[in-house]
Structure 1
Amino acid sequence: MKILKLAAALTVMLAATTTAWSADKYPERAIRLVVPFPAGSTTDTMARFLSDQVRADLGQTLVVENKAGAQGSIAAAEVSRATPDGYTLLVGTNSTQSANIHLFKKLSYDPAKDFTAITQFSMNPLVLVVRPDLPVTNLREFLDYAKSQPGQLNYGVGNTGSLAAVQMLKSITGIDAMDIQYAGTPQAITDLIAGRLDFMITDISVTKPYIEAGKLRALGVTPIKTTSALPGVPTLAEAGLTGYEFVAWGGLFAPAGTDPVIVDRINKAFVKALNSPQAAEFFSKQGLEPTPRTPADFADYVTAQTDMWGKLLADAGQPKK
């Protein structure tokens, strides 16, 4: 019996030693970054940029994989079940980590228990855009037009940021419009430009080229302050919606149980990249704000955001699906 107990103890010690050794050697092969939205989305573009920036620091290739659908739940569920060894990570957002728990009656992962926060990437201001032939040129005209046709206008939803931002607009103004769900924002933008949708509140980074080309019309941005990415476009609060303020966010997560040594290694590499001049230029052009955090700070932020999203969606009258 003593021999068996000794053997068991040695096995545990060997496993712990092996894990520590593996963590110290991390990374020894390519790392997967699973993005919960399609190629061309803001989250995807940001993930690919940062992957290139940290490659030299980590000494390994980072492979970005898009797993779109169900407001990011498909990707998040996959990563939640992955081996917690640092080689499969989630580029999570307010959708996957804070909003979905309040949107779905049954969620195939637990945002709080199944993940370890690594670092925030960005704060993402949004913009209200309309199809170019909609007969409005500013927010007041848009609201008057929408109220004159209750229930007749439609809008695209590619992520929960878009959903909540429009729900807030509807709650404040009383307009009635129908949502059309998409796997991601790029597909919705395509339909908006083609005239199959009337409006959206969505990421500046994916709409800016079309706004500048005259294919979409911007009526207002969602932060409390104007953004240099869209000079001349007022905030929605400035345009008449007193108190309106909304931003989305994105960041990096590992499966729960990932060794803290590995989490710290990844955090340092991405924080360094986020603080670089290259990142400052990239994020500015995208209309984003780099927001690096420690794992502990990011975990606290996500917890607070989850509470905020619960209140926001409840106040907007958004039912669970």
Structure 2
Amino acid sequence: MKKISLLAAVAMAWSSTAIAQNYPVKPIRLIVPFAPGQGADAAARIVAQKLSDNLKQPLVIDNRPGAGGVIGTEAVAKAPADGYTLLVGSNGTHAANPSLYATLPYNALEDFEPIAYIGSVAMVLVSAPNHEAKTPKEVFSAAKAQPGTVSVAIPSSTSRVVLEMLTKASGAKFNPIGYKASGTATTDLMGGHVMLSIDTVIATAPNISSGKLRGIAVTTAKRTSSLPNVPTFQEAGMREIDIAAWNAWFAPRGTPSEVIEKLNGELRRVLGDPDTQTRLRALGYEPDGKLAPAQVRDFVRKEEKKWGDLIRSGGIKAE
């Protein structure tokens, strides 16, 4: 029996190694749980094209938007664990949704194998150029002087979570105004219908650079390369403000570890390419492919707690 068990173990190990060496032998489907043209989709296409060139197989982008990313994420959770269906996950799908929704058709930590961390996108507090408050201190002072009257456009659940972090850190009370998209929030901000907005660098950088909007501060610990002249909240003395949108790639639970390691290595190579970095930074991303799969898992676990604590403290629900 021991000999048979040993032979079986050797056969399985050889089989897994052979799979990893030959993988991939057919096109890979990359599910993006967001609409075409959004930041996550644009970044995924840049990375996927480079990865496709390296692997000598097509990576077919499959956009599955809806329900804050739940629809596409569920599709990957239930897909065969063979390395041919991958997911572009995010802070929404894996950190916020477990607390935003009463129930989910997937477990963000248990139903996926992390592959690689792709990069982050800073959030920015912005105002119209003629707005009186020009610094974080002035914004919070105005909100404290008249609690609940300083309106803030909120075009996403990420924006709402960031506002909760700013509220907890400053003690100021704002008036959040929900929007379904960044475009309408920006239009109302420029038209003076709202005083402030919280949105991604991707959505705000062009208008800030052109002077149509003022960037008050970014939410990351370091300034973002897309808006080098916009300070961080930490520079204003708010050391606890460090939050960003992010993307990471995942596979269904049970995908062979050899396949995960191969994909991780190839994605690291792609993200280390200067052309890839330049193109991602032009979108507003800060690329970072240094994390091993186990480190990505640890990162997601910490992010789920961070976002979950903020969502619960603010009583935020999915809309």
Q: TM-score, normalised by structure 1?
A: 0.83
For residues 3-46 of structure 1, the C-alpha deviation after alignment (integer angstroms, 9 at most, x for no partner) is: xxxxxxxxxx9999988765543223222222222333321221
Summarize the Cα distance change of 1:235–1:154 in structure 2 as closer, same or farther, 3 Å threshold: closer
* Cα displacement (A) at 1:251: 0.7
1:81 is aligned to 2:59: no
Partner of 1:308: 306
- Match of 2:251, SS state, is strand
Q: CA RMSD in A?
A: 3.2
For residues 196-251 of structure 1, the C-alpha deviation after alignment (integer angstroms, 9 at most, x for no partner) is: 65433222123211211233221111122223321221112323545322223211
For residues 134-176 of structure 1, the C-alpha deviation after alignment (integer angstroms, 9 at most, x for no partner) is: 554333443344453625624223243x222111112233222
Q: How does 1:51-90 map to 2 (within 5 A)?
A: 51-90=48-87
Q: Give the Cα separation in 1 of the matches to 2:194 and 2:84.
A: 39
Summarize the Cα distance change of 1:14–1:225 in structure 2 as closer, same or farther, 3 Å threshold: closer
* Cα displacement (A) at 1:258: 1.2
Summarize the Cα distance change of 1:291–1:209 in structure 2 as closer, same or farther, 3 Å threshold: same
Question: Residue 156 of structure 1 contacts residue 197 of structure 1 at CA under 8 Å; is this kept in 2?
Answer: no
Q: Give the Cα separation in 1 of the matches to 2:195 and 2:62.
A: 31
**Overall identity of the aligned pairs, in %:** 33
1:207 is aligned to 2:193: no
Question: Residue 140 of structure 1 contacts residue 240 of structure 1 at CA under 8 Å; is this kept in 2?
Answer: no
Question: Residue 219 of structure 1 contacts residue 233 of structure 1 at CA under 8 Å; is this kept in 2?
Answer: yes
Count residues in correspondence. Answer: 310
Q: 1:177 aligns with which of 175, 178, 182?
A: 175
Q: Give the Cα separation in 2 of the matches to 1:31 and 1:208.
A: 33
Q: Which amino acid aligns with 1:296?
A: A
Flag structure 2 segments of 5+ consecutive residues without an equivalent.
Answer: 1-9
Partner of 1:220: 217
* Cα displacement (A) at 1:312: 3.3
* Cα displacement (A) at 1:106: 1.0
Q: Which amino acid aligns with 2:30?
A: L
Question: Residue 224 of structure 1 contacts residue 237 of structure 1 at CA under 8 Å; is this kept in 2?
Answer: yes
Question: Residue 16 of structure 2 contacts residue 258 of structure 2 at CA under 8 Å; is this kept in 1?
Answer: no
Q: Give the Cα separation in 2 of the matches to 1:187 and 1:61.
A: 36
